[in-house]
A = this chain, B = another copy of it.
C-alpha cells in the first residue's frame, strides 16, 4: 500500500457496512481479539445505530481508518453515559490483517488520545490486551499506557487454552 493514503476520521453513517464487515473479518483473522461474539457479529443496521450513538455522545467516539474506499481499521472508545465511571474511556482497536505493520493502529491511537485530551470528560483510558501479544503491548507502552494488573484466564483461545490478559491504562490530564 506504499502509494495509498490513510485517512483517519470519526465514523459516519455511511461507514456502517464497512464497519460491520471489518469487525467480522478481524475476529475471524486473529485469536488476539478478546471479544464477545455478539459484538463482532453486528448487522449493518446495528452498526448504523452504534455509529450514531457515538456521534451523539460527549465521552465516546468511534474512529475509523480508510485506505482508498476500504475501511481497514477501527478504534472505539466506550464510556458510561453518567455516574461514577463516566470519566473512563474503554478502548477497542482492530486493523485488518492485510494492513498490519503499516502503523495504522498507531495513527488511530494518536487520534484517540488527542480526542480524549480535548474531550474535557475523559480522565482515564483503559484497555485489555493478551499478554502474549507483545507487539501490541509494546505499542501501548509507547503511548504511555502502563500495565495495572494481570487477569488470569482473562481470555481463552478457540482451542480452549486459557490466556493471561493485561489491564492497561493511561491517565488523561
A36 CB to nearest chain B CB (Å):
4
Question: Count of chain A residues with Cβ under 8 Å from any Cβ of B?
Answer: 35
Contact among B36, B81, B152, B169 with A85 in the assembled complex (CB-CB below 8 Å): B36
Question: Is A123 engaged at the interface, CB distance under 8 Å to the other chain?
Answer: yes
Q: Does chain B have a CB within 8 A of A18?
A: no
Question: What is the count of identical protomers in the complex?
Answer: 2
Q: Which of A84, A85, A167, A171 is most buried by chain B, counting CB atoms within 10 A of its CB?
A: A84
CB-based contact A149/B152 at 8 Å: no
How far apart sit A81 and B36, CA to CA, in the bound complex (Å)?
A: 7
**In the complex, A148→B153 CA distance in Å?**
12
A151 touches B148 (CB 8 A): yes
Q: Write out the residue numbers on chain B whose beta carbons fall within 8 Å of the beta carbon of A154.
A: 85, 88, 124
How near does chain B come to A78, taking the closest CB pair, in angstroms?
11
Encode A138-154 as 1/0 by CB contact (under 8 A) with B: 00000000001111111
Residues in chain A within 8 A of chain B (CB atoms): 31, 33-38, 40, 80-88, 123-124, 126, 148-158, 162, 167, 169, 171
Q: Which 4 residue pairs are nearest across A and B when measured between Cβ atoms?
A: A149-B149, A36-B80, A37-B83, A37-B82
